[in-house]
A and B are shown apart, each in its own frame.
Chain A
Amino acid sequence: DQQVKQNSPSLSVQEGRISILNCDYTNSMFDYFLWYKKYPAEGPTFLISISSIKDKNEDGRFTVFLNKSAKHLSLHIVPSQPGDSAVYFCAASFSSGSARQLTFGSGTQLTVLP
């Protein structure tokens, strides 16, 4: 039973347009969410996070939105660039300082077309 789901395995977007990656979770106890980006032959790298006390967090071109009632989060990339082409994983955890486990979604391959 996957507690964190990314239902779109792939997404293609034109350069300069907005990319929207979606993620759903089932465990209402999760209260901290993260996005990681992964290039081929490299480990994932942290992109952005959000706590459940917020509904939006921005960092440059990247914005994460959290809808707690729908148990849904999304990552917006504006404008999209070819270098953004990668696999994006959303992950859920607990905000406690002793949080020990991270649950990942299955990932979405984003391709930004020049």
Chain B
Amino acid sequence: ELHLVESGGGLVQPGGSLRLSCVASGFTFSSYWMTWVRQAPGKGLEWVANIKQDGSEKYYVDSVNGRFTISRDNAKNSLYLQMNSLRTEDTAEFYCARGRRGIVVLRGAPDHYYYYMDVWGKGTTVTVSS
């Protein structure tokens, strides 16, 4: 069975740091893109960051770029999110998710890529407050 289990959330003061972890099981972790998504209390989903299978490509939402760092350790089937300079607006449930990236070929030529998340962890809560 496919599993993603997040940990590392907690209460932190503004300006502080946290490191989230996500451990994968039930699939070949090193074969998949991975993603962090967050959801503030009572709000919608917000993408945070993506990382390619080998860690060579990383993408961030503008609001966390330069403060958060996504990384992975394929030997440990683990995904991480180092969060620095935390703000009150970073308060949210943080989900780890498996990414599925595919390419659509039309008339023998690449037409476009798609990306979506097909396996989600249950989340870890980050609260930034003084």
Q: Do A and B bind each other?
A: no
